Amino acid sequence: MNETDKQRDALETLKAFNNAVVTVRLYPAMTPQVTNAVERGYKALKLYLRHYGDLVISLQDRKPMLCGEQLNEHVLQTLTNLVVYRHLEVLGLDILVLKAGIDRHAFGQILFMFTSRVEKIKREGGGREFSRSLHLEEYFPEEYQFVEESAEEQADLFQAPVVREDLVGCLTGSEPGQSAAEELKTELQDPDRAAAVLTAAVMSSLRELQRQKEIGVAGAFTTALKNVDALVDKGRHQETANTLADTLCQGLQDASMALVLAQTYPDGFGTLFFDALVGRIDIEFFGKVVAFLRRQVSTRQGKTAGSPSRLQMVSATLAKLLDTAKGRQFLGQEKARSIIESGERERQAKRISTGLRGLLQGNLSGLHSDELVMGLPAAVQQLLADGHEEEVLSLLLLLNRELRDGDAAMQSRIIRGLAIIGENLVSENRWDLLSKTIESILHWFRNTKEGDFTFEKVAGILHAFMEQAWKRGNIAAGDKILEVFYQIRAGIVKKPPPVQALVGRVQDREIDRSAIAGQLQQCLEDPTNEPLGRRLIMQGLVAVRYLVDELLRAEDADDRIKIIDLLTYAGQMLLPVVRERLAEPMPWHGKRNLIKLLSEIGTEQDIALIMPYLMHDDLRVQREAFVCLYRISGPRRKEVLLRIASEAGEVLRPDAVKALIPYCDAEVTAVLGELLGEYEHFSDAVRDRLLVQVCTVLGRCPHAPAIEALEKFLLLKGKRAARKIGEDVWTAAGEAMAQLEAAQKEERRRQLHEARQLVDETARTEQPIVRPKEEKSAITGLPEEQTARTLLSQGKKDAARRMILDLIVRTTRARRFELAERLREWMIEVDPMALGDIIRAAEIIDEEKKASIDKSHLDVWANLYQLLTPDEFTNLYHLLEHRRYENEETIVSQGASQASLFFINSGKVKLFYRDGGRDVLIKNLNSGEVLGAGAFFDASVWTVSASSLGQSDISLLSLKDLHRLQDDYPAVESKLNDFCRKFERIDVFFKQSGRDRRRHQRFKVSGRITVIFLDNQGVTTGIRVRGELADISAGGVSLFMRFSKKENSRLLLGRAVSLILTGSEIGEDGAGTQGIVTAVKGYHVIENDYSVHIKFDEPLPDEELQRCLKRFGGDGAAGGRPAR
Task: Encode pLDDT of 359-387 as tens digits.
Answer: 888 888 888 888 888 888 888 888 898 88
Reported as a pLDDT band with limits 50, 70 and 90, residue 1121 is very low
Instruction: Considering only residues 26 and 393, tell me which one the structure prediction assigns the higher pLDDT.
Output: 393
Q: What is the pLDDT of residue 770?
A: 40
Q: Is the pLDDT of residue 1071 over 50?
A: no
d(CA 1028, CA 1006): 7
d(CA 785, CA 779): 8
Q: What is the pLDDT of residue 1119?
A: 44
Question: DSSP code of 234?
Answer: G
Please report the beta strands in 788-899, taking only residues with DSSP state E, as ranges in sequence order. 881-885, 890-892
d(CA 1092, CA 1027): 9
Average pLDDT over residues 174-182: 71
CATH number (domain holding residue 1059): 2.40.10.220
| Closest of 407, 412, 473, 468 to residue 438, by C-alpha | 468
d(CA 50, CA 42): 12
Q: What is the pLDDT of residue 918?
A: 64
Q: Do the Cβ atoms of 355 and 372 come closer than 8 Å?
A: yes
Strand 930-931 to 1008-1014 pairing = unpaired
Instruction: Considering only residues 249 and 914, tell me which one the structure prediction assigns the higher pLDDT.
Output: 249
Please check whether residues 1041 and 1060 belong to one and the same domain.
yes
Q: What is the pLDDT of residue 1064?
A: 38
| Closest of 976, 921, 974, 977 to residue 945, by C-alpha | 921
Q: What is the pLDDT of residue 555?
A: 80
User: How do residues 624-679 score in pLDDT, each as one tens digit?
Assistant: 999 999 988 888 899 999 999 888 888 888 999 988 888 888 899 999 999 888 88
Q: Is the pLDDT of residue 97 over 90?
A: yes
DSSP string covering 656-676, please?
HHHTTGGG-SHHHHHHHHHHH
Q: Do the Cβ atoms of 1059 and 1074 come closer than 8 Å?
A: yes
User: How do residues 463-515 score in pLDDT, each as one tens digit?
Assistant: 999 999 998 999 999 999 999 998 888 778 888 888 888 888 888 888 888 88
Q: What is the pLDDT of residue 303?
A: 57
Q: Is the pLDDT of residue 836 over 50?
A: yes
Residues 912-945 as b or e (16 or more Cβ within 10 Å = b):
bbeeeeeeeebbebebbbbbbbbbbbbbbbbbbb
Average pLDDT over residues 865-878: 79
User: CA 389 → CA 72, 385, 421, 430, 979, distances in Å?
Assistant: 38, 9, 14, 11, 69
Handedness of CA 1077, 1079, 1084, 1086 (dihedral sign): positive
Please check whether residues 988 and 1014 belong to one and the same domain.
no
- The pTM for the full model equals 0.44
Q: Do the Cβ atoms of 171 and 227 come closer than 8 Å?
A: yes
Residue 778, Cα to own-chain centre: how many angstroms? 46
Beta-carbon contacts of 903 under 8 Å, excluding residues fewer than 6 positions away, are 861, 880, 930, 954, 955, 956, 957
Q: Is the pLDDT of residue 1124 over 50?
A: no
d(CA 713, CA 178): 123
Q: What is the pLDDT of residue 95?
A: 92
Q: Which of 633, 663, 693 is the last residue of a domain?
A: 663
The conformational region for residue 315 under phi > 0 = left, psi -120 to 50 = alpha, else beta, is: alpha
Longest CA–CA span in the chain (Å) reads: 149
In a domain, 512, yes or no: no
Q: What is the pLDDT of residue 985?
A: 58
Q: Do the Cβ atoms of 61 and 96 come closer than 8 Å?
A: no
Helix, strand, or coil (residue 810)? helix
| Closest of 850, 785, 837 to residue 811, by C-alpha | 785
Helix, strand, or coil (residue 256)? helix
Q: What is the pLDDT of residue 156?
A: 37
User: How do residues 963-986 score in pLDDT, each as one tens digit?
Assistant: 878 777 888 888 888 888 777 555
Please check whether residues 172 and 273 belong to one and the same domain.
yes
Beta bridge partners of 858: none
First to last CA, the chain: 95
Q: Is the pLDDT of residue 595 over 70?
A: yes
Average pLDDT over residues 132-149: 78
| Closest of 245, 227, 242 to residue 188, by C-alpha | 227
Please check whether residues 916 and 949 belong to one and the same domain.
yes
d(CA 83, CA 85): 6
Q: Do the Cβ atoms of 954 and 905 come closer than 8 Å?
A: yes
Provide the residue range defining the domain that includes 288.
151-323
* Identity of residue 1040: F
Handedness of CA 964, 965, 968, 973 (dihedral sign): negative
167-176, 406-415, 781-790, 978-987: which range is least confident on average? Answer: 978-987
In a domain, 577, yes or no: no
Q: Is the pLDDT of residue 461 over 90?
A: yes
Helix, strand, or coil (residue 1024)? strand
Q: Do the Cβ atoms of 811 and 820 come closer than 8 Å?
A: yes
Residues 340-355 as b or e (16 or more Cβ within 10 Å = b):
eeeeeeeeeeeebeeb
Reported as a pLDDT band with limits 50, 70 and 90, residue 275 is very high
Please check whether residues 187 and 50 belong to one and the same domain.
no
In a domain, 978, yes or no: yes
Please check whether residues 121 and 156 belong to one and the same domain.
no
d(CA 861, CA 957): 14
Please check whether residues 738 and 751 belong to one and the same domain.
yes
* Identity of residue 233: D
| Closest of 107, 64, 109, 104 to residue 83, by C-alpha | 64
Q: Do the Cβ atoms of 456 and 506 come closer than 8 Å?
A: yes
The C-alpha angle with vertex 753 and arms to 749 and 755, in degrees rounded to 5, equals: 120
Q: Is the pLDDT of residue 989 over 70?
A: no
Q: What are phi and psi of 153, to 5 degrees?
A: -65, -40
Q: Which of 104, 119, 139 is the last residue of a domain?
A: 139
Please check whether residues 651 and 668 belong to one and the same domain.
no
Strand 95-98 to 881-885 pairing = unpaired
d(CA 812, CA 470): 43
Q: Is the pLDDT of residue 330 over 50?
A: yes
528-532, 596-600, 758-762, 936-940: which range is least confident on average? Answer: 758-762
Q: Do the Cβ atoms of 129 and 92 come closer than 8 Å?
A: no
Q: Is the pLDDT of residue 96 over 90?
A: yes
Please check whether residues 760 and 789 belong to one and the same domain.
no
In a domain, 631, yes or no: yes
User: How do residues 685-710 score in pLDDT, each as one tens digit?
Assistant: 888 999 999 999 998 888 888 999 99
Q: Is the pLDDT of residue 155 over 60?
A: no
User: E strand or H helix at 303, and its extent?
Assistant: none
Residue 881, burial from CB neighbour count under 10 angstroms (0-12, 13-18, 19+): middle
Please report the beta strands in 1015-1068, taking only residues with DSSP state E, as ranges in sequence order. 1020-1032, 1036-1042, 1056-1062
Please check whether residues 982 and 1018 belong to one and the same domain.
no
Reported as a pLDDT band with limits 50, 70 and 90, residue 55 is very high
Q: Is the pLDDT of residue 309 over 70?
A: yes
| Closest of 513, 577, 572, 578 to residue 539, by C-alpha | 513
Count of CB atoms within 10 A of residue 29's CB?
Answer: 11
Average pLDDT over residues 220-240: 86
The count of structural domains within the chain is: 7
Residue 895, Cα to own-chain centre: how many angstroms? 43
User: CA 470 → CA 495, 720, 1004, 1005, 1038, distances in Å?
Assistant: 27, 76, 88, 90, 83
Q: What are phi and psi of 175, to 5 degrees?
A: -140, 70
Please check whether residues 255 and 120 belong to one and the same domain.
no
Assign 3-class secondary structure to 385-413. Answer: HCCCHHHHHHHHHHHHHHHHHCCHHHHHH
d(CA 992, CA 664): 44
Q: What is the dihedral of CA 506, 512, 513, 516, to 10 degrees?
A: -110
In a domain, 538, yes or no: no
d(CA 428, CA 422): 10
In a domain, 542, yes or no: no
Q: What is the pLDDT of residue 641?
A: 92
Please check whether residues 168 and 300 belong to one and the same domain.
yes
Instruction: Considering only residues 871 and 734, tell me which one the structure prediction assigns the higher pLDDT.
Output: 734
Q: Is the pLDDT of residue 589 over 90?
A: no
DSSP string covering 906-965, please?
EEEEEEEEEETTEEEEEEEE-TT-EE-HHHHHTEE--SSEEEEEEEEEEEEEEHHHHHHH
Count H helices, E strands: the chain? 53, 18
User: CA 358 → CA 58, 421, 431, 592, 717, distances in Å?
Assistant: 38, 19, 26, 67, 103
The conformational region for residue 1106 under phi > 0 = left, psi -120 to 50 = alpha, else beta, is: alpha
User: To the nearest whole number, what is the mean pLDDT of the chain?
Assistant: 81
d(CA 59, CA 70): 9
Q: Is the pLDDT of residue 148 over 50?
A: no
* Identity of residue 1042: R
Angle of helix 254-261 relative to helix 308-322, nearest 10 degrees, comes to 100
In a domain, 879, yes or no: yes
Q: Which of 139, 161, 178 is the last residue of a domain?
A: 139
In a domain, 830, yes or no: yes
Residue 765, burial from CB neighbour count under 10 angstroms (0-12, 13-18, 19+): exposed
d(CA 461, CA 480): 14
